[in-house]
Homo-oligomer: A and B are copies of this chain.
């Protein structure tokens, strides 16, 4: 851990500024947040923000890339002997990242595609989607998952369940990320019926 010494006038650096920016973007929406809003929350002037980034769009790019890099790492090489094991690993890993990087992932999942930066983010999300779909397909083929629901549809439902966590989950002692992942995996794989496998 080489914590290099900060030089120059203390205050925000890019990382600490980005964290605040992402929080405000999530509260008011990206388009609904003006640079003046952001400056007010940061307690600095609007022009000071442009010392750290070149544009509002760059803030969005940095934030979505951060979330996408983390998610890509988790989805790309899951460990497990069977496809079902690997699928479960991806689910648990996704929940872990989603919780650990909640503000960043939240912002990512709300991107609409208005600008080039947003379209790139959507494109990278689609890649992740395809990887998960392939994994579900493999798990159906090996006989681990029920064959009566279309694999592509199954993948959509799974991804949807995981992604919807951002709408309500907030870290707490009562519901840790591990508890959350356990409940989600049970729900998705074994279902809610009493006595379900």
Q: Chain A interface (Cβ within 8 Å of chain B)?
A: 27-29, 31-32, 110, 112, 114, 143-150, 153-154, 156-161, 163-165, 167-169, 175, 183-184, 186-197
Which B residue sits closest to A186, measured CB to CB? Answer: B149
Known interface pairs A165-B160, A168-B156. Does A29 touch B149 (Cβ–Cβ under 8 Å)? no
Nearest-Cβ distance from residue A4 to partner chain B, whole angstroms = 38
Known interface pairs A31-B31, A191-B188, A192-B146. Does A164 touch B153 (Cβ–Cβ under 8 Å)? no
Known interface pairs A144-B194, A196-B196. Does A153 touch B29 (Cβ–Cβ under 8 Å)? no
Question: Are B27 and A112 within 8 A (Cβ)?
Answer: yes
Which B residue sits closest to A183, measured CB to CB? Answer: B149
Q: Which 3 A-B pairs have the closest CB atoms?
A: A160-B164, A191-B191, A31-B31
